[in-house]
Each structure stands twice: as C-alpha cells, then as structure tokens.
Amino acid sequence: MSDLFKQTVERLPDILIKNASPMMQRIVAAMQKSIGEDQQLADASYCVLLLKMAADDLAAGFERAIRESMAALRSGDGGPNFSATGFSLAIEPLADDGSTEKADFRLSTLAFDRLLAKGKALGVRGLRNYERDVLLTCMKQSFAKSRVSGEEAAKLLPYARRALNDELVRLYAKLEAL
C-alpha cells in the first residue's frame, strides 16, 4: 500500500491536470445548487445564469492554471505560480458574512492534515504542494480569466470555496485510502 501511495503522489500533478476540467464542472454544478438554495442572495437566478455562461471558460481556465502550477513544481521553481494573489484580494468579501475562508475549508484542512501525517510516516515528500492554497489560487485564476467580472466573482467566491472544499475532501480521502 505504501508503494501505491508514493507512486500516486509522484503522479499527482498529471492526475490533477487530467481531472481539472471535470473537477471545475463539478464545482460549478455544486455552486449552482448552493446558490439556488440560498435564500439570502437577492440575485440568485442571475448568478446561476452567469455560472452557466462561464462554465466552459472556468473549466478551461482551471485546467490551464493547474497545468502552469504543476509545471512550476516540476521545474523546481520552489512552488506553484501564484500570479493571481492580487486578484484574490480583489474578490474577497469586504463584509464578514460568517463564511470565512478558514471556515469554508475546515473539512479539507482536517483531511489534508491526516494525509500529511500518513505521508510523513511513509517518508513521502512534496505533499504540501497539493494543499488547498494551490488549487484555490488556480480557481481564482480561472475566475480572473473568465467572463465573470471581479464584482460578480466576489459574490460567487464563497460558494466556489465551499464547492472546492468538498472536492478536496474527496481527493484527500482517496489519497489517504491508498
């Protein structure tokens, strides 16, 4: 089992690239569902429509951002390409709506901590390259390069974070099970 775990972690950049577009499609679908169920969001139908129109852009942008980040990891740049950090500040909600990034990623953080512990016990290095910040930055990059304006992205980001959290929980659980 430990050999399979190590081999999978070594192939994880290729796995993430291959699954980036389907992952973003699931994230968009989860966002649409959450937005539709949100009684507090005044323009929910517009946000759902916006997501439908931007779904292909988001999926392609997410795959491109992951590909670039994984290429940076392979080339030994010391970390993924976080060129969207300025954008991430621009789309963070100004008001505290009770949905902070830390709270949104609570479950995936716990799952990642378990994965790190397993990796450490098996002597696997480089797992930190796949924590939520890498994929969150890639997701923000995909929003920045899509047809969604910064203002609209700010409304969508809490839903996107929660949907990404769910994806990461599943990913980390699959890796931990190896």
Residue pLDDT, tens place only, 101-138:
889 999 999 999 999 999 999 999 888 889 899 999 99
Distances (CA, A) of 40 to 46, 129, 138, 156: 14, 36, 28, 13
Ranges of residues in the chain with a pLDDT under 50 are: 78-98
- Kindly write down the DSSP assignment for every residue of 68-113, as one continuous string: HHHHHHHHT-SS---TTHHHHHHTS-SS--S--HHHHTHHHHHHHH
Paired tokens of 52:
């439908």
Give residue 64's pLDDT: 96
Give residue 42's pLDDT: 83
Give residue 1's pLDDT: 62
Paired tokens of 103:
């709270």
Give residue 125's pLDDT: 87
What type of residue is 156?
Answer: L
Give residue 77's pLDDT: 52
* SS3 category, 17: helix
10 Cβ partners below 8 Å, 6+ apart?
none
Q: What are the sequence ranges of the domains in the chain?
A: 2-177
